[in-house]
Chain A
Amino acid sequence: MRQCGQRWRRWALVGIAIGALTGVAKADESAKKRIVCSTTQTADLARQIVGDDMEVHGILGPGVNPHVYQPVPGDSRLVESADLCLQNGLHLEGKNWMETLARDNGNKPLVTCTKGVQPLDLEFEGQTIKDPHAWFDPRNGAIFVNNILDAVIDLDPPGAVRYRARADLYLQQLRALDTWIEKEVSRIPLERRILVTSHDAFNYYAARYHFKVRSPVGWSTGSEIGGGMTPERRRLVVQSIRDFKVPAIFVETSVNPKMIQQIAGEAGVRVGGELYSDAMGAAGSAGETYLGMMRENTLTVVLALSASE
């Protein structure tokens, strides 16, 4: 009888210990700081820096267009639970939806990743618009990384050494990417470096790697100034394809491909492939990371434009 009591006591102690350990693990999990990002690019860069030390959630899914996105109630709940919010900025998030979400759901700290980027100016009917697609130049990608790094160190100063180490390693990967793209693109003769895409998203890539860009739709697919499709812009695209004897044009993952397919038929040119533009690829796809997205886009472009007719 006494032995039986002792055994029970022992099992109870074991149970309490397991319970306590599970509790600690659970508490540790929930104690992780949470970052909520507007775009897939900012979310990927944040993940590279925080590793497993923080939770990173993205509002936009793969292939979702940030210019015309309408937040849903689930987004508000997600932002409400955040310790830090990240956005691209420069009005990529149409009607500044990320700023609204952060403000209306607990006035959350919001970091704009394009802070410090030298924006490219787009002229439209006498107005100047700052091009928000800055991540397409890997040097700007490095500015995103540094802005995110500063923000996560502010959020968790004791983790600074780990965050800086990860950022340092990742920046070396961005450097290698930049050099690699330059080398790959050199296969395309300068006179054939014309990038015709669904919307005007590749200006930074074009400026960095010496391309000309033409798109039927402006910097945004939404209704902002300088955004949307105009018949004049469409006509210019067809004209450019003929004038420059462009061998291939491209559709984008986050924009309806219909218009580019129509233009290709009209101008008698082939569609060279699909480019990741305002959103990265789905999990498991080559474009699920920023590095993968840039690599795949470059391979698609180089293959299509360097091929002899």
Chain B
Amino acid sequence: MVRFACSLLVAALLLGSVGLCQYALTRRVAISMTHAPESHGHAEPAKGVDASARYALYVTLGFEAGEDPFAVRAADAAESRRLVIRHGGAELFATSEALQRGQQIAITNQHFSGERVALFVEAVPGGEDAARPCALRLRLECEGEWCDEATLWSEGNGARVSGEVTLGLAPRLSTLDRGLGVR
């Protein structure tokens, strides 16, 4: 009788531990499933974009933006601008100053709404770079958190780096795929 009771207890203990293991395993898989995009670099955007969130746009030039030796001499200040960034018809940034290759320009305290923002960017490669294809990189952050980034190329040698770039507004986790950008 005692032997029978002991056998039952051992069997119950074994079953219980197997069940516990199974439960733990199931839970672990569930946890790793929710984190999967992080490790693969495909995070889901956070739900909802806070309308009061402040964005910062970082523009990094892969070329010298300066006087184009093959341009008609500017008739006024508006024509001599080296870099212009517009959003919805309004200018976020414009400068007539020469800009160095590798220089990063930070445009901070911006408010955007919706899921994506469309920015028009135009830069004038100058000096030696006026004869080469050129690119610039745009990176958007929300309250210090990475949202999106893109690369804009010129159409060819000496052409302006010019075009509309759309960037996602939802903050994402920071270890994401950096993407190939837009051309």
| A is bound by B | yes
**Which residues 159-216 in A have Cβ within 8 Å of B in the complex?**
164, 167-168, 171-172, 174-176, 178-179, 182
Q: Indicate if A146 sits at the interface (CB-CB under 8 A).
A: yes
**Are A171 and B131 in contact, CB atoms less than 8 angstroms apart?**
no
Partner of A164, one of B72, B130, B157: B72
Q: How far is the CA of A143 from the CA of B71 in the complex (A)?
A: 9
Chain B interface size band reads: 10 to 19
Question: How far apart are A165's CB and chain B's nearest CB, in angstroms?
Answer: 9
CB closest chain-B residue, reference A153: B75
Q: How far is the CA of A126 from the CA of B130 in the complex (A)?
A: 36
Partner of B158, one of A143, A168, A175: A175
Question: How far apart are B63's CB and chain A's nearest CB, in angstroms?
Answer: 15
- Which of B70, B73, B157: most chain A CB closer than 10 A? B70
Residues in B neighbouring A175, C-beta threshold 8 A: 70, 130-131, 157-158
**Are A179 and B157 in contact, CB atoms less than 8 angstroms apart?**
yes
**Which residues 130-150 in B have Cβ within 8 Å of A in the complex?**
130-131
Residues in A neighbouring B72, C-beta threshold 8 A: 146, 149, 164, 167-168, 171
**Which residues 71-111 in B have Cβ within 8 Å of A in the complex?**
71-73, 75
Question: Which applies to chain B's interface (DSSP): helix, strand, loop or mixed?
Answer: loop
Q: Indicate if A142 sits at the interface (CB-CB under 8 A).
A: yes
Q: How far is the CA of A145 from the CA of B175 in the complex (A)?
A: 51
CB closest chain-A residue, reference B70: A175
**Are B73 and A178 in contact, CB atoms less than 8 angstroms apart?**
no
Q: Indicate if B69 sits at the interface (CB-CB under 8 A).
A: yes
Question: How far apart are A160's CB and chain B's nearest CB, in angstroms?
Answer: 8
**Are B69 and A142 in contact, CB atoms less than 8 angstroms apart?**
yes
**Which residues 65-121 in A have Cβ within 8 Å of B in the complex?**
none
Question: How far apart are B69's CB and chain A's nearest CB, in angstroms?
Answer: 4
Q: Indicate if A150 sits at the interface (CB-CB under 8 A).
A: yes
**Are B131 and A172 in contact, CB atoms less than 8 angstroms apart?**
no
Partner of A142, one of B70, B75, B157: B70
Residues in B neighbouring A171, C-beta threshold 8 A: 70-72
Residues in A neighbouring B73, C-beta threshold 8 A: 146, 149-150
Sample of 5 further A-B pairs with CB below 8 A, known A179-B131, A179-B157: A149-B73, A164-B72, A167-B72, A171-B70, A175-B157
26 A-B pairs (CB sep. < 8 Å) = A138-B70, A139-B69, A139-B70, A142-B69, A142-B70, A143-B69, A146-B72, A146-B73, A149-B72, A150-B73, A164-B72, A164-B75, A167-B72, A168-B72, A171-B70, A171-B71, A171-B72, A174-B70, A175-B131, A175-B157, A175-B158, A176-B157, A178-B70, A178-B131, A179-B131, A179-B158
Q: Which 8 A-B pairs have the closest CB atoms?
A: A175-B70, A139-B69, A146-B73, A171-B70, A175-B158, A168-B72, A179-B157, A142-B70
